[in-house]
Amino acid sequence: MIHLNRSLPSRQRHSIAVQLSRLNSAWGRASAAASQFDQLRAQQVGFQPHLVKPTPMRSQQQFPA
């Protein structure tokens, strides 16, 4: 939980809190979609979902370490 600085004006605090909650819900939707995708892919491949590794990020594929 992020605690906002009390010295900020309350209107500014509120807009920051609104943006944080929007970001939080968007992150939740994205991670839910990712796990759903992993489950679907696991069903197609015929593996158990917990045995399938999560999809690597595109940036890791483009730029190998």
Burial of 42 (0-12, 13-18, 19+ CB in 10 A): middle
The fraction of the chain above a pLDDT of 70, given in percent, is 58
Of 29, 51, 28, residue with least CA distance to 39: 51
Distance CA 18, CA 10 (A): 12
Bigger pLDDT: 30 or 46? 30
Yes or no: say if 40 and 49 are a contact pair by the CB < 8 Å rule.
no
For the chain, give every domain's residue range.
10-53
Yes or no: say if 32 and 53 are a contact pair by the CB < 8 Å rule.
no
pTM of the model: 0.42
Q: What is the pLDDT of residues 5-43, one digit of tens each?
A: 677 788 888 899 999 999 999 999 999 999 998 888 877
